[in-house]
Amino acid sequence: MEKERRLIIAGNWKMNKTVAESIDLVNGLKRELANVKEVDIVVCPAYTALSEVSKSILDSQNIRLGAQNMSENNVGAFTGEIAAVMLKEFSVRYVILGHSERRQYQKESDELIARKALAAHTASLKPIVCVGETLAEREGGLMEKVLETQVRGSLAGLSREQMEETIVAYEPVWAIGTGKTASSAQAQEAHAFIRAQLVKLFDETTARRVRIQYGGSVKAANARELMGQPDVDGALVGGAALEVRSFADIIKNSI
């Protein structure tokens, strides 16, 4: 079945890989995925490897660069921070915002994530905005409430045009790095709920155009079924994005 929206599959390398290892990984992906035209492929290395990975994919037709975070500020006295314009220097096109690890360890709020998303758009970067409930929230019957709050808060202030160029990643926290994947039915239910929130916040046309990725222990074995769901438009992959074979197989199995 032809998907309504083009799939986007991104690898979040997190705090893994030296520069040399990053170059090896991306070169392997270039070789394995050279003929894939049906999917937007994004790799998100650590900041320190952006420059070299960017050079490695200069001649790639289908692999694009993403960052894992950025500052909500454009310039100035913000020690340790990286601005959107600095990412643009390395031809970064996408930026992951509000990953659950940042929400947990850096206490990032929806309000901060929304400011980052606006700053990303101002620099013509496409944000990948992450939302998702914890196990306690799901078991407490709070999944919809949490998703509604995160979607509303993290996307506040975006215009319809900006929203269309924003990717939402549904990442149930209980499925990240745990080996526990949401079933395809659970993923579809959450994605449809998120899209319904986008209808309320923006409009039907905008909501229909937004791509919603699933993230949480995606692997080659479950990619096809997850990507087959009508509201699942791609994947944000952690652990399985760190090896050529597993990431390439996820992409090939999704087509």
Least distance in Å: CB of 237 to ligand PEP? 5
Q: Is 133 in the site for ligand PEP (CB under 6 A)?
A: no
Contacts of 23 (CB under 8 A, 6+ apart): 49, 52, 53, 56
Q: How far apart are alpha carbons 92 and 85 in whole angstroms? A: 9
Question: In the beta sheet, which residues pair with residue 206?
Answer: none
Q: Site for ligand PEP (CB under 6 A): which residue of 97, 119, 236, 248?
A: 236
Whether 121 is catalytic: no
Q: How far apart are alpha carbons 249 and 122 in whole angstroms? A: 35
**Segment near ligand PEP (CB under 6 A), from 45-53, 155-163, 233-241, 247-255?**
233-241
**Segment near ligand PEP (CB under 6 A), from 21-29, 52-60, 147-155, 171-179?**
171-179
On the CB side of 246, CA atoms within 13 Å amount to 13
Q: Is 72 in the site for ligand PEP (CB under 6 A)?
A: no
Coil, strand or helix: which one is 244?
Answer: helix
Q: Is 158 in the site for ligand PEP (CB under 6 A)?
A: no
Whether 99 is catalytic: yes
**Segment near ligand PEP (CB under 6 A), from 36-44, 83-91, 111-119, 236-244?**
236-244
Q: Is 238 in the site for ligand PEP (CB under 6 A)?
A: yes
Q: Is 69 in the site for ligand PEP (CB under 6 A)?
A: no
DSSP letter for each residue of 26-57:
HHHHHHHHTT--SEEEEEE--HHHHHHHHHHT
Q: Output the residue with the shortest Cβ distance to ligand PEP.
A: 238
How does DSSP classify residue 9?
E
- Catalytic pick from 72, 99, 133, 191? 99
Nearer to ligand PEP, 126 or 202 (CB): 126
